[in-house]
Structures are given as structure tokens and as C-alpha cells.
Amino acid sequence: SERLFMEMADVMAAEGWRDAGYQYVCIDDCWMAPARDQHGRLQADPKRFPSGIHKLADYVHSKGLKLGIYSDVGIRTCAGFPGSYNHYDLDAQTFASWGVDLLKFDGCNSGTLELLAEGYRHMSLALNKTGRSIVYSCEWPFYLRPLQQPNYTEIKQYCNHWRNFFDVYDSWRSIKSILDWTALHQDSIVKIAGPGGWNDPDMATLPGIFVFLSQLVIGNFGLSWDQSVTQMAMWAIMAAPLFMSNDLRHISPEAKWLLQNKEVLAINQDPLGKQGYQITKDKNFELWERPLSGQAYAVAVLNNQEIGGPQNFTFSLTFLGNGLACNPACSIRQVLPAGRDWGVYNWVSSLSVEVNPTGTALLKV
């Protein structure tokens, strides 16, 4: 309902979320009335959004935030509401006239792959024609992948970020499956990411609250503390757009600290815009790096072991940055699970990192 989104905007403005960089309050599927109006335009459900989307956008904007909305490339949304097929220009104009700042464009009920692609291209051009700056969030490659390899160069030409993988759930198994898929496909997806176009690892569905792309499920109930640290660290490494799927009115102080951690957010939002990748996998450990501006690197050491206690992973610093990250020397700071300086190392040093089961140590080198 509009009340829920207004309350969430209030919390985002009052409790530091906006100031940390979270800008968008996004509505997902099911916001619409079951049918278009007499002029063919989409309309909001009159019971849950009685003031209309324009008024909600005005309210969100008054808090220094932006409003996101949902539609679908096909004839129906995934939940069966009116889709944008044959209405791309009209819907783009409608969203712009309401003051919408982001469109998540789903891919259900789209017919053939050619219709799917044509729909995503058409809506991109239609949004640009409105003259309003609207972030375009696509699900194009996710719906292509079962049948053909996505052309990420073309997708980036039309979309600002795009979904690659299945729904994320509030569970470790789900987080782990996303990381495994990303590592397996990194050769095809890492190189395309950069300013203006980003890989979304996943999609979240949490009925009643928010449903977003690239979902952080931190602050709910399914992840342990170490697993929450892993999601935050690895989404920063992957240069993923960060959307929270949680109820900010009832979030723990620990989850708030993690989600608002300035050092992690700075890594995620690094202006160089390069996506990180897995360097090596050794038994239960994974070593990832992400090139940052200023000749720095973010490094993540992930412990996949699910039982037992903390374990040490030792690696040579020559692994990092093709041997250049610490040549001739580098300073190392641990960012997660807690911030502390580790000092200066030379390029032939080895580093031993202690990591909890299903946890991650995030370093800045």
C-alpha cells in the first residue's frame, strides 16, 4: 500500500539510509488495477494506492529520495496484471508523467525470444523519448539464458542493469548458489560491467514488503551473522547494484551497521566501476579480487565450510592484481567482519586470513 512505501521513505530519510547512498524506494508487481483505464493507461489499485502513484512519487521526492516502479515486457506481469506489450510508448510516458525514477521491466508472458528482445529495446527508446532520467532495470538475459547465450554488449546498449540468475531467498543455500553461478560465468559477464551498465546477480521475492533486483536479504531471519557479512562483502566485490529487501522499521542495529558500512559501500560504489572475479578456489576457500580506483584492490576470502570453527587461509600476495597489487609494497586494511589496519607488506609476502565458517574477510589492499 502507499502507506507502507511512505513509511519506508520516512525511515530511509530519518535513519541514515539516504545519507549512506540508498536512493530508491521501489514498488514491485501487483501495484496495478486489474485493467487499464478508458484511455488505455495503467492505473494504480484504488484501494491500496488511493492517492495515485504521482502523489506517492511527490512524497518520496520530498524526502530526497526517488521512486521505482514495475512493469513487464509481455502481455501480463508475472502475477497476471496488465503488461506493457503494445503499450511501451504510452507506459513510458505515463511513468514519466507520474515522476517515476526507475523502471524494473520483467520478462514474463513475452512470447518468442524476438518479441522479448524487441520489447526491451522498444521500452528503452520509449523511456529516453520522455526526456526524464529513468533508470532501466532489465531481466532480459535471465529470460534468454535457458535458450541462448545473451548478447551482453547489446543488452548494455539498452539497459542500465540486468538480472542474470534465479530468485534469491533468505537462505545460505540461495546466496551460495548465486556466488557459484557468478564464478562459473565470470568470463562472459565481468568484462561488460562498468559505469552505465551493471550485472544484477539475482532477484528477490519477499511478499508484502519489497521485491527487487540484486537483493540484499540482510536484516531478515534466514542468514547467520557471518553469512550476512558474506553477502555484503561479495555483492560489493561483484559491483552489484544494492537494493535491500527487508523491513527497515524493524531492523537490528547489527544489520543496520553492516548495510550502512561506509567502507563497504565505497568499495561497491568505486568510480572505476570494474566488477570483481574469483582468482582461485582451494578446498573450502575462495579468493576474489576487484580492481579499485587509485591502484587499490578489494580482496575477499570466503570460507565455504559449513561446520566447525574458524580456519586460516594462506596465500601469496603475488596472486593479487596479476602480481602488481603489492609490488613493491602495499598497505592492507580489513574492512569486514570488522575494520582494522593490518600494516604494510611487500610483494613476496604471504598473508594468513582467519575466516569463520560461511563467512568472508573483506580486505582493501
From edge to edge, which strands make up the β-sheet containing 329-336?
277-282, 285-291, 297-303, 360-364, 329-336, 340-346
Position 254 scores a pLDDT of: 95
What is 45-105 written as a DSSP string? -TTTSTTHHHHHHHHHHHTT-EEEEEEESSSB-TTSSB--TT-HHHHHHHHHHHT--EEEE
**Residue showing cell 540484486:** 214
Position 174 scores a pLDDT of: 87
Chain-wide mean pLDDT for the chain? 93
Domains 2-269 and 277-364 share a fold: no
Q: Decide if 37 is catalytic.
A: no
Low-confidence ranges of the chain (pLDDT < 70): 166-167, 202-217, 219
Position 206 scores a pLDDT of: 35
Q: Decide if 167 is catalytic.
A: yes
Position 166 scores a pLDDT of: 63
Position 197 scores a pLDDT of: 96
C-beta neighbour count of 192 within 10 angstroms: 17
Question: 190-224: per-residue pLDDT in tens?
Answer: 999 999 999 998 654 333 333 333 466 676 778 89
CATH code that applies to domain 277-364:
2.60.40.1180
Domain ranges of the chain: 2-269, 277-364
Q: Do 140 and 107 meet the contact criterion of CB atoms below 8 Å apart?
A: yes
Q: Do 317 and 350 meet the contact criterion of CB atoms below 8 Å apart?
A: yes
| Total-model pTM | 0.93
Catalytic residue among 89, 167, 180, 226: 167
Name which of 138, 159, 18, 147 is nearest 84 in CA terms.
138
The C-alpha atoms of residue 189 and residue 150 are separated, in whole angstroms, by 10
Q: Which CATH architecture has domain 2-269?
A: Alpha-Beta Barrel (3.20)
Q: Within a 13 Å sphere around the CA of 48, how many CA atoms are in the beta-carbon half?
A: 14
Catalytic residue among 106, 170, 202, 270: 106
